[in-house]
Structure 1
């Protein structure tokens, strides 16, 4: 598992994945800023931070100027939490402030309300002596302060007050006020920024970025996260260079002599294989054959489907004699149909990492890259993310099967996605016409890790699985789709791998 350099000591944030990004957690007894748009999960993260303190036997305090106790309890209930052990101190405006006669006439509210609010909060802190405090939110303090100078001095006073009190403080703030509150970033020890993306289709995608963290190594960049029942779950950005291991150099076979011969003996562990071809030519079936071979070796495979349902895969596999459902039931294969409108790149990569690191998957199949790229169409740098994923899987010694559908059926083929330069091995599948039949052929165009056959062999999908014939040496133009015989050969002879009807 990728690990950034560790710094100690640390305070757990209570948020799954965030401690990993922070190199262990927050530095204790410091002031931190958590800012984001409404609905980005600030309150949920604040409660998770305090609940982690409760579990550690600490005294914790939630100071709220914007939400009532009942609203916080409702938020907690939606996640199945109990807030027992969290002291909630409300600093909301009193009801009598709606009375016109109680409004301030001689003094600006900042001269009265800010001092009263601060005093009430400090009294509660003095009484409880908490080790963790969440302050919700700075937006209210900014409004009461009136001026930027007064607001900055107030935050600086809070920092000085908590210094030496052995208290870790998390300040929540609205991202809409960042421009007016930018000076806060220079005061706090660290800043965590939340943002939301709104794609044209599908659900909102949320991202987190560490804007600042003094004295601790952390994983920079954007990290996807989701708000689910049970709290916020973060998916740390994958950094393959943090993996300090190399997979075993070993060749694995497909249990099909002709296919292994075409591949120069088989596939090498820690390599990626791209299967390219038209729709229905047999890419997924050939990949499933590799999965079944891995299951026969007692190895686990993880299949991620973007283009078809699990039921369709099972039906097709059963029709070819692959007992895939049995392998799933026995735990040697996992199959997941990915909803392209409801997943972020970070979450998808995390699912793959869970299979590899927690379940020992030795083969991963992504079917298909077209579906994957369409699912991530609103994202930038998807190719870079894929490159990082393949580098990670290579270090983990995992064989990766990537399926890419091409446009067209016979003749000139094209693809909107060119990832052939990323793959270690490229297998090309094609339709061709012979003797009034549409047949399939395959060839290996590239293999970085060793020699391979330069021949073209016929591929046949039968009720008993995949069959690969002898090299089609008596034909020319197979990859064009309409071959013609050369020499003494003619379509249908023994060298095509099929018997003449």
Structure 2
């Protein structure tokens, strides 16, 4: 391998692990990159994280600023809990001098000689020999250049100066000139664009796109990002799992013999199950049954709650006789609450991925419950293709051998008016259908398995009940009418029905 090839293969971290994943290993070393975005999109934060990552490796970094003062940069770093000790901040423009000129001369800032500014940068680089440099911002250089041709030549001279000195350079551009500067993009080895847009509800949406990265693969498309204390968080568009599938495809038991019989032995490892029915019929409780049984086996279960609070969930579980609190304290069941309007699809996907990783005792998750799909859809009303992104999540969990349960509440209680928010039955390997039915002037619950790709399931309808001893599933009921019409009515003998419980929490 030649020296040039070795340099080309060397990568440097951006300081953001997930962004490095998007770039398939990070930025190619000793190259010049353009970071473009409107004010407030996170360019300065990304630049500082890039330099901090270099400092952690023992390198030298320079932040060259034409727009912000050193005090402002230190304030930004402090807001994230960072210290910029060891990072050289070089202010190119003397603001006091500029104010003096503005008051007492007729010279405009654009009439300041650019060559002295570029010369100061080169002097600092010669003196400090940095391996990372951030130049903020190009909009000031445009003003100093007094023309597009001179501006392009100065950027080209900077590129030629930096390359070959072992220095990876980020040029920050706030796109003050408007539109895309394709000439500038052509000069850069790579281009990363930061974008933000305002939605009708919730916080503004920020995203990141890699426009180009010469000689390297990268994950294209828009990747969600969030600016929070501690820096920029990037959430990749797709979930990449290079680990081969290792599960054996065994059946996962619910802990209830009657339910396992109805399912043909249980649900398969790595499968997805849709729990479909009207509100209050017991869908979430059945999903909790699988989670509790997994915890009893010493396996982890993760619940993503879009609707219920922790207090409500614990109270409902205790009403069914589920020792939820005990398993939560043991770390076998974890609950993550998702706030509507405050999360993006890619962020949710990354949270799922992180939640199922082995814990500090090496225990991997075996059950994931998403409660509910209605909440998932309504929490991100401005996003498109949510079902496609959900499909990617299910594929990822399936490869890990994790059984996933999706709760879907149908609109309406019964009859032809019932409907689902979106048709997701094709995503699921198994569909468990819940219904209310009438018998002898009382309302009862029914459960049936519509499909189960992993087993030969029963085609019968059984009664389903909730009590303080847990879930109760009766024997197959044969005398029904109006099932397909959505208004099932039992016309058989009352003696075969379950006694309606006094309290039946959902």
TM-score band, normalised by shorter chain? over 0.9
In the other structure, the counterpart of 2:487 is: 481
* SS in structure 2 at match of 1:177: coil
- Aligned-pair distance for 1:182? 2.3
In the other structure, the counterpart of 1:4 is: none
Structure 1 stretches of 4+ moved >6 Å = none
The answer as to whether partners of 2:276 and 2:434 remain within 8 angstroms in 1 is yes
In the other structure, the counterpart of 1:114 is: 114
Give the whole-Å Cα distance in 1 for the aligned partners of 2:233 and 2:102: 46
Taking structure 1 as reference, are residues 130 and 242 closer, same or farther at Cα in structure 2, changes over 3 Å only?
Answer: same
Matched, 1:445 2:474: no
1:22-61 to 2 correspondences below 5 Å: 22-61=23-62
In the other structure, the counterpart of 1:431 is: 436
Give the whole-Å Cα distance in 2 for the aligned partners of 1:427 and 1:222: 35
The answer as to whether partners of 1:279 and 1:409 remain within 8 angstroms in 2 is yes
Taking structure 1 as reference, are residues 24 and 397 closer, same or farther at Cα in structure 2, changes over 3 Å only?
Answer: same
In the other structure, the counterpart of 1:134 is: 134
* SS in structure 2 at match of 1:414: coil
The answer as to whether partners of 2:111 and 2:146 remain within 8 angstroms in 1 is no
* SS in structure 2 at match of 1:421: helix
The answer as to whether partners of 1:287 and 1:401 remain within 8 angstroms in 2 is yes
1:43-442 to 2 correspondences below 5 Å: 43-98=44-99, 99=101, 103=105, 110=110, 112-177=112-177, 179=179, 181-240=181-240, 242=242, 244-359=244-359, 360-412=364-416, 413-442=418-447
- Aligned-pair distance for 1:238? 2.3
* SS in structure 1 at match of 2:285: helix
- Aligned-pair distance for 1:484? 4.3
Give the whole-Å Cα distance in 1 for the aligned partners of 2:241 and 2:423: 24
- Aligned-pair distance for 1:197? 2.6
- Aligned-pair distance for 1:93? 4.4
* SS in structure 1 at match of 2:151: helix
Give the whole-Å Cα distance in 2 for the aligned partners of 1:54 and 1:219: 27
Any idea what the Cα deviations from partners look like across 1:129-153, whole Å, max 9, x if unmatched?
1111000011111122232222111
- Aligned-pair distance for 1:110? 5.0
The answer as to whether partners of 1:243 and 1:392 remain within 8 angstroms in 2 is no
The answer as to whether partners of 1:134 and 1:170 remain within 8 angstroms in 2 is yes
* SS in structure 1 at match of 2:412: coil
Any idea what the Cα deviations from partners look like across 1:206-248, whole Å, max 9, x if unmatched?
1111110011222111111111111111122224575543533
Q: TM-score of the superposition, structure 1-length normalised?
A: 0.93
The answer as to whether partners of 2:245 and 2:401 remain within 8 angstroms in 1 is no
Give the whole-Å Cα distance in 2 for the aligned partners of 1:16 and 1:103: 49
The answer as to whether partners of 2:480 and 2:488 remain within 8 angstroms in 1 is no
- Aligned-pair distance for 1:497? 4.0
- Aligned-pair distance for 1:477? 2.8
The answer as to whether partners of 1:16 and 1:233 remain within 8 angstroms in 2 is no
Taking structure 1 as reference, are residues 493 and 155 closer, same or farther at Cα in structure 2, changes over 3 Å only?
Answer: same
Matched, 1:456 2:471: no
The answer as to whether partners of 1:493 and 1:500 remain within 8 angstroms in 2 is no
Gaps of 5+ in 2: 1-7
**Greater CA drift, 456-465 or 200-209:** 200-209
- Aligned-pair distance for 1:395? 0.6
Taking structure 1 as reference, are residues 109 and 461 closer, same or farther at Cα in structure 2, changes over 3 Å only?
Answer: closer
Any idea what the Cα deviations from partners look like across 1:329-361, whole Å, max 9, x if unmatched?
011000121111211111111111011124321
The answer as to whether partners of 1:470 and 1:497 remain within 8 angstroms in 2 is no
Aligned pair count reads: 488
Give the whole-Å Cα distance in 1 for the aligned partners of 2:138 and 2:500: 79
Give the whole-Å Cα distance in 1 for the aligned partners of 2:286 and 2:160: 66
Give the whole-Å Cα distance in 2 for the aligned partners of 1:332 and 1:271: 20
Gaps of 5+ in 1: 1-6
**Greater CA drift, 365-374 or 229-238:** 229-238
The answer as to whether partners of 1:258 and 1:469 remain within 8 angstroms in 2 is yes
**Greater CA drift, 340-349 or 464-473:** 340-349
The answer as to whether partners of 1:240 and 1:391 remain within 8 angstroms in 2 is no
The answer as to whether partners of 1:148 and 1:180 remain within 8 angstroms in 2 is no
